[in-house]
Structure 1
Amino acid sequence: MTLFDIVPIVAAVIILGLVAALVARRQVRWIIPACFSAGFAVWSLFAVLTEGPLGFWTEHVRNAWGNQIWMDLLLAVGMALIWLVPAARAVGVRPLPWVAFTLATGSIGLCAFAARVLYLRDRAAAP
């Protein structure tokens, strides 16, 4: 197996673990999305350095599956922002810079945004 065969499997296992924890009603700490943001930023930098800064677009316009993946990512980010923006306002975070960061970087910005909101929520709840 190559690196490109292994990485998607590892990513799926990690996300399934997170989902299992959420379903078990465990609270996700801010460090989890912060680590996701950092890890994905490193992988994205690798992709940009090896494939170029617009390589993602070539993949999304290649065929129907590429289009489907692009629309799936847009829908996922949109749905996440529906919940995250009000939560951000509730803890005193101005959402516009974070939404712009998310739109520019995708999951890197979204995970960082979620980490910030969860951090402030946890800090406010601490005795």
Structure 2
Amino acid sequence: MTTFEMLFTAGLVVAVGFIGLVAARRTGNGDWRIAGLIGAAFAGYSMIPILREGPTGFYPIHVVNFWGVQVWFDLALSLSCAVFLAAPRARCAGMALAPWLLLVLLGGSIGLLALLTRLFWLERNAPTQA
């Protein structure tokens, strides 16, 4: 098994496990510490291809064939759905959305995880209504 196959498999195992944990959870909102940890870890890993292959190294992969474009559409759709779901909560929490949406557009999942980290932190630390 190549390094890339091992990384692919590890990502699959982590995603399935995480989705299983989320599905089993009965109550509660997102935890800003988990979102922040995942975002920081992914940002750290992302530095490897950025430094080795450049900040636009993803582009050739997504324009080489139909699968590449399909994966690009899948990523764009997933980010769009996540923003669609998070935006109303972010507005209610008092977040100015424009800078966060720009971060999502420029940073993809890293930006989204930063947005969610801030959102979850604000929700957890909101003053209680008397």
The reply to whether TM is greater than 0.5 is: yes
Number of aligned residue pairs: give it.
Answer: 126
Q: Which amino acid aligns with 1:81?
A: V
- Residue of structure 2 equivalent to 1:21: 21
Identical positions, percent? 37
1:10 aligned onto 2:15: no
- Residue of structure 2 equivalent to 1:72: 74
- Residue of structure 1 equivalent to 2:107: 105
Unpaired runs of 5+ in structure 2?
none
Within a 5 Å distance, the mapping from 1:10-49 to structure 2 comes to 10-26=10-26, 27=28, 28-49=30-51
CA 22–125 in structure 1, closer or farther in 2 if over 3 Å, else same: farther
Cα deviations by residue, 1:67-111 (Å, 9 ceiling, x for unpaired): 000000000000000011111111111111000001001000001
Decide which moves more: 7-16 or 40-49.
7-16
- Residue of structure 2 equivalent to 1:53: 55
TM-score (normalizing by structure 1): 0.91
Unpaired runs of 5+ in structure 1?
none
**Residue 90 of structure 1: which of 81, 89, 92 is its match?**
92
TM-score (normalizing by structure 2): 0.89
**Cα RMSD between the aligned structures?**
1.6
Give SS of 1:54's match: coil
Alpha-carbon separation, structure 2, partners of 1:94 and 1:34: 19
